[in-house]
Amino acid sequence: MKFFVDTADTKEIAELAATGLLDGVTTNPSLIAKSGRRIQEVIAEICAVVPGPVSAEVAATDYDGMIREARVLRAIAHNVTVKLPLTPAGLRACRTLTDEGVMTNVTLCFSAGQALLAAKAGATFVSPFVGRLDDIGHDGMALIGDIVAIYRNYPALRTEVLVASVRGPLHVIAAARLGAHVATLPPAVLRSLYQHPLTDKGLAGFLADWAKTGQTIA
């Protein structure tokens, strides 16, 4: 499974990229707004430190506007992935951009039918929002299972399932078990995957025993 981080905080991204565990980044208008900076500046900075796909979302809702904005975004760096809403205009724009060789991420997916349309439109990624479905009493992971199963029935479909709106480590593990290709995680969730009390306890024990030897390695 590939790990993307879901943020526009360039300091956080640089720190996580330095671990070698980060495969890409997703942003959205809300995250860019929190940064207080121009989108072109933020995306360029991210693309300079993360070689993998970096999703930058259009703000237009009509096809012509989406295409105009997509051309601005794709010119920032070669690894920009144009993020489009799962609407008729967004799917049409996805088809156009895919045919031009542009990476695309179709977002705000909440049903298997929508995911099938995104794949038919040639999306590089489709982003089902599991946390938001859980919030309204639906099973977000059941949707991931459905999408993965449907895509496996049709090898010609190349769209990767990018699990979004991830709320904690259990979402990540469940998505990996189902065979999702990517999970995009808030920085805190990504860091939480490191944590286990037995790891901390075991390390403390090893270090205490080592200190008793009076030895150094370097």
pLDDT for 39? 97
Dist CA 12 CA 49 (whole Å): 11
Q: Is 212 a catalytic residue?
A: no
Give the residue carrying structure tokens 């671990």. 19
Residue 97: predicted pLDDT? 98
CA distance linking residue 140 with residue 128, whole number of Å: 8
Please tell me the number of Cα atoms within 13 Å of 128 on its side-chain side: 32
- Confidence band, pLDDT 50/70/90 cuts, at residue 160: very high
- Is residue 123 within 8 Å of 104, Cβ to Cβ? yes
Question: pLDDT of 182-199, one tens digit each?
Answer: 999 999 999 999 999 999
SS3 194: coil
Closest CA to 54 of 25, 33, 28: 25
Q: Give me the amino acid identity at 94.
A: C
| Nearest alpha carbon to residue 90 among 53, 123, 42, 133 | 123
Please identify which of the residues 2, 11, 34, 83 carries the catalytic annotation.
Answer: 83
Task: Output the pLDDT for position 38.
Answer: 96
Which tens digit of pLDDT belongs to each residue from 109-159?
999 999 999 999 999 999 999 999 999 999 999 999 999 999 999 999 999
Give the tens place of pLDDT for each residue, 21-58: 999 999 999 999 999 999 999 999 999 999 999 999 99
How far from 72 is each of 29, 35, 45, 157, CA to CA, in Å?
15, 19, 15, 28
* Max CA separation in the chain (angstroms): 70
Helix (H) or strand (E) run with residue 80 in it: strand 80-85
% helix / strand / coil in the chain, to the nearest 5?
50, 15, 30
Residues 6+ apart with CB under 8 A from 71: none
Distance CA 167, CA 54 (A): 21
**pLDDT tens digits, one per residue of 168-184:** 999 999 999 999 999 99
Residue 96's pLDDT band (boundaries 50, 70, 90)? Answer: very high
Please give the structure tokens belonging to residue 119: 């794949």
Report all structural domains of the chain as residue ranges with CATH numbers, in order of start: 2-193 (3.20.20.70)
pLDDT, residue 182, reads 98
| Distance between first and last Cα of the chain | 36
Q: What is the DSSP letter of 111?
A: S
